[in-house]
Amino acid sequence: MDQSNPSYSRFGVSYFCPVCKSEFLIKSGWTATGKQRYCCKDCGKRFIIDYTYQACQSHTNRQIIILTKEGLGIRSTARVLRISVTTLLKRIVAIAKGIQQPPIAFGKSYEVDEMRTYIGKKSRLRWIVFALDRDTKTVADFNVGRRTNKTLKHVI
Ligand SMILES: [Zn+2]
């Protein structure tokens, strides 16, 4: 490793500053809970890197969106991104809240589909209902919930 430009990685994922995205990080002591603290050499921001951090990266969110669009299931997506299913579902909900709902145009056709997933017990099944724009293949709207008309109606 080039000592003048250290960059740390774990699981093959490069770390970068949450503020300026610089990879020029140096180790900067420990937190009270024993987590390694890093300092960004470019903007001076100090932060820790852990599981939560990794999942919080907007980079991860982008990958979640890409993998979901590719039709990868929840479990496979979690495995590929090395985050837990619970974390992934939390991220999906957070991404959903941040999505600006595209205008739904009249006279356009949308494909409504659903994905089934569950957390822990099979009795806690959850459905993700989504509407796809047939022309652009983008998700126009979606909702997460139990398999009820309420969940479906939100999207329709
Ligand atoms: Zn920075």
- Ligand 1 mean position, distance from CA 7 (Å): 13
Residues 62 and 94 in one domain: yes
- Arithmetic mean of pLDDT, 4-30: 68
The DSSP-derived string for 35-94 is -EEEEETTT--EEE-SHHHHHHSHHHHHHHHHHHHTT--HHHHHHHHT--HHHHHHHHHH
Rounded CA Rg of the chain: 19
Q: Containing domain of residue 130, as a range? A: 105-156
- Ligand 1 mean position, distance from CA 18 (Å): 7
Residues 76 and 42 in one domain: no
Looking at residue 98, the DSSP 8-state letter turns out to be H
- Does residue 46 carry a pLDDT above 80? yes
- Does residue 1 carry a pLDDT above 50? no
Count: domains in the chain: 3
- Ligand 1 mean position, distance from CA 37 (Å): 13
Residues 117 and 145 in one domain: yes
User: Is residue 3 in some structural domain?
Assistant: no
**pLDDT 10s digits, 122-152:** 566 666 666 666 666 666 666 666 655 665 5
